């Protein structure tokens, strides 16, 4: 085996796990994160797992949980769409 095969053999499982992490339901991610927090992991990984384990609901994107933002004056005005015919 050469170096290229070793790099691919290391990257494919990591990418597969990341893709699975993104598509599994939030409840599974939360419980998996709580299980993984029992392991001694590096700081950045631990911080990310703590955020995933602490999510109380939703997708943790801070979109639904954030307070509603009042629209500005530019957002209030509707701009009509004008369609011009080709000649």
pLDDT, one tens digit per residue, over 40-72 is 988 888 888 888 888 665 555 555 555 555 556
| Within-domain flag for 83 | no
Confidence (pLDDT) at 76: 61
Confidence (pLDDT) at 73: 58
Confidence (pLDDT) at 74: 60
| Within-domain flag for 40 | yes
Pair 73, 81: CB distance under 8 Å: no
Tell me the pTM: 0.52
Confidence of residue 20 (pLDDT cuts 50, 70, 90): very high
Confidence (pLDDT) at 49: 87
Distance CA 6, CA 32 (A): 28
Number of domains in the chain: 1
| Within-domain flag for 81 | no
Q: Cβ–Cβ contacts within 10 Å for residue 21, how many?
A: 14
| Within-domain flag for 17 | yes
| Within-domain flag for 87 | no
pLDDT at 31 over 80: yes
> What is the span of the domain harbouring residue 66?
3-76
Distance CA 73, CA 46 (A): 43
| Within-domain flag for 64 | yes
């Amino acid at each position: 085996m050469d170096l290229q095969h070793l790099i691919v053999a290391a990257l494919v499982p990591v990418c597969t796990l990341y893709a699975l992490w993104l598509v599994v339901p939030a409840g599974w991610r939360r419980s998996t994160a709580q299980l993984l927090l029992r392991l001694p992991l590096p700081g950045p990984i631990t911080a990310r797992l703590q955020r995933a384990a602490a999510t109380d609901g939703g997708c943790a994107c801070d979109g639904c949980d954030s307070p509603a933002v009042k629209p500005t004056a530019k957002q209030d005005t509707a701009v009509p769409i004008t369609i011009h015919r080709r000649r």
